[in-house]
Amino acid sequence: MNTGEEIFVLKTEEELDFLASETLKARYLREGEKDWKDVCERVAKAVALTEEEYLDFKDLMVRKIFLPSSPTLMNAGTEFGQLAACFVIPVEDGVEEIFSSIKTAALTQKTGGGTGFDFSKIRPEGFTISCGNDGTSGPVAVMKLFNEATEIVKQFGRRRGANMGILDVSHNDILSFIRAKHVEGELSNFNLSVMVPDAFMELVEANKVDEVWNRQTGMTVGNIFSEIVEGIWKNGEPGILFYDRINRDNFTPALGNISATNPCGEEPLLPFEACNLGSINLSLFVTDRKVNWDFLREVAGKAIRFLDYEIDENIYPVPEIEAATKRTRKVGLGVMGLHDMLLKLGLPYDSQEALKLAEKLMEQITWASIRESRKLATEKGSFPEYEDSSWELPMRNAALTAVAPTGTISILAGCSAGIEPVFSWVYRRTQTVGREFMLVHPFFKAYFKPKLSEADYEWLLEHVYKYGTLQDVENSELVSEEDKQLFRSALDIDWKAHIDMQASFQRHCHAGISKTINMPGSARKEDIKQALVYAWKQGLKGLTIYRTGSRQHVVLSLQKFKN
């Protein structure tokens, strides 16, 4: 393959591939540790309460059947001891309160935690507080303070700082918020999302775009929605969060409504709450083209126990986070390796069979998680807010399941990320341990290399690396129609199929789903409008859409071309 680049092939066996090895060294190995097994021993020893649990937890991690999130892998058994991945930090409207929130965020981020903020309480730009005052700066200016703080903090850690900035669609500064990242590179440490209620989406669906939404500014539904669509089409931001859908699954409504999430949007949390994440590697649950359901339920139960123990072992950044987290004891068990599982089962990602399987997978994981949480409640007591919660039977945890993006832990596990389809069977990965890698999917290699000549295989690799698809290969002796059905990657899959897959997991998931809805570069703004409405009607809690080529700097990409 004449690209002038070395190809690093992902492996699915015990031996770590080069990228995973480099990631392990850069982020997870501590002093005296030599390999993955050493990391697993340290983490299992820090979390387990008995020798039997230590052996169970270590075995699940060594075999990459279940992995906790990066902060746990980095910090368990160390002086930091901060194990949670997701945090929501409240932002009040006042100088002291704003800088207090920045300090809390900094203390959280330096240990690898991702932070989410609702900036809706910040008064709009130009608001006059008293005579002689020049007016307030507004939420976008405040976000820039948080962004700069993250820029400084990430120089001291092993993990790039990540934030979610959220603004209610009714805020007077909503348009400046939506436009805040129109110039690539601005607010680079933030993802942005607009929080919208059902009432707003109902007007959009009914095409009542001339309805005035904000009477103070005169902004109509159409003004705001078209700006959201423009931003997404331009560079993939902002995302959308559906307020009412999120709060229908708020298991502790007496504590207030939820208005913010973690950086990737899958964990809606109350102020100061933190959440431990972990993911089951679905690719390892297929035997003879069948799913081992008993083993999946068994692993889910052990994973919930692991995540619950972390809540008590965690060293929290500030007392407020510890108090809020222990009131509800939320955890987020999710999955990775979905597309790899589907490949092993011979199911196209966008098939009806795959959607039915996805829903059953999440249903079984959540059911097994609830069963284990009830068992833990019997052993250790229910979460303190249980009596005022919506649970009918005693539970150790207010919420149990969430699907995270699993960026680096899926590299360690050698599997596809989260519930995402494979981006491309051959692709470039950047922003990982400061290097670039060209990667070939192991299933693609195992499938095509034995049946093609070396020259044909090299041609196919180069074609997919260049175009991101094999759907346009006309030679049926190289790629059959059956091959094309099975090997459909992210850009081959219609946006509705992307949303349908997210919805299939969401139906039985307590928190949310982190997933990118990929669209081709040719996608129209009308496609984005339709996708947002469709996602809302399908019951999603949030949505991120990315149109290929709309950003210059991305983690996953195809071959670079010289002018």
Write out pLDDT tens, residues 512-524. 999 999 999 999 9
Residue 557: band (very low, low, confident or very high) from pLDDT cuts 50, 70, 90: low
Please identify which of the residues 264, 275, 415, 509 carries the catalytic annotation.
264
CA–CA dist 373, 223 (Å, integer): 46
Q: What is the mean pLDDT of residues 497-503?
A: 98
What does each C-alpha distance from 252 to 168, 282, 399, 452 come to in angstroms? 21, 30, 9, 57
Do the Cβ atoms of 72 and 83 come closer than 8 Å? yes
pLDDT at 324: 98
The residue among 416, 436, 414, 412 whose CA lies nearest residue 425 is: 416
CA–CA dist 372, 333 (Å, integer): 12
What does each C-alpha distance from 481 to 427, 444, 498 come to in angstroms? 22, 15, 22
Residue 76's SS3 state is coil
Mark 122-160 as b/e (b = at least 16 C-beta within 10 Å). bbbeeeeeeeeeeebbbbbebbeebbebbeebbeebebe
- Averaged confidence pLDDT in the chain: 92
What does each C-alpha distance from 453 to 440, 450, 460 come to in angstroms? 17, 8, 11
Q: What is the mean pLDDT of residues 258-264?
A: 98
Q: What is the mean pLDDT of residues 283-292?
A: 97
Do the Cβ atoms of 400 and 366 come closer than 8 Å? yes
Lowest mean pLDDT among 106-110, 155-159, 473-477: 155-159
Mark 357-393 as b/e (b = at least 16 C-beta within 10 Å). bbbebbebbbebbbebbbebbeeeebbebbeebebee
Please identify which of the residues 163, 262, 281, 397 carries the catalytic annotation.
262
275 assigned to active site: no
266 assigned to active site: yes
DSSP state of 28: I
- Tell me the residue type at 40: C
Q: Token pair for residue 11?
A: 């492996």
Query: What domains are there in the chain, each with its CATH number?
Result: 86-261 (3.20.70.20), 434-487 (no CATH)
CA–CA dist 417, 424 (Å, integer): 12
**Going by C-beta distance under 8 Å and a sequence separation of 6 or more, which residues neighbour residue 78?**
30, 42
pLDDT at 216: 95
- Give the relative orientation of helices 525-537 and 495-506 as an angle to the nearest 10 degrees: 20
pTM of the model: 0.93
CA–CA dist 49, 367 (Å, integer): 24
Residue 134: band (very low, low, confident or very high) from pLDDT cuts 50, 70, 90: low
The residue among 354, 471, 338 whose CA lies nearest residue 410 is: 338
pLDDT single digits (tens) 355-409: 999 999 999 999 999 999 999 999 999 999 999 999 999 999 999 999 999 989 9
Q: What are phi and psi of 60, to 5 degrees?
A: -60, -40
pLDDT at 4: 42
509 assigned to active site: no
Lowest mean pLDDT among 118-122, 138-142, 180-184, 384-388: 180-184
CA–CA dist 532, 542 (Å, integer): 9
CA 336 to chain centre: 11
Q: Token pair for residue 507?
A: 């139906």
CA–CA dist 315, 317 (Å, integer): 7
pLDDT single digits (tens) 489-499: 998 999 999 99
pLDDT at 265: 97
DSSP E strands in 390-530: the ranges are 426-432, 435-440, 516-519
pLDDT at 555: 59
Q: What is the mean pLDDT of residues 453-474?
A: 92
DSSP state of 524: -
Cis peptide preceding 238, ω within 30 of 0: yes
- Identify which has the larger pLDDT, 383 or 23: 383
Q: What are phi and psi of 529, to 5 degrees?
A: -55, -50
pLDDT at 388: 97
Q: Token pair for residue 245?
A: 């859908």
CA–CA dist 188, 175 (Å, integer): 19
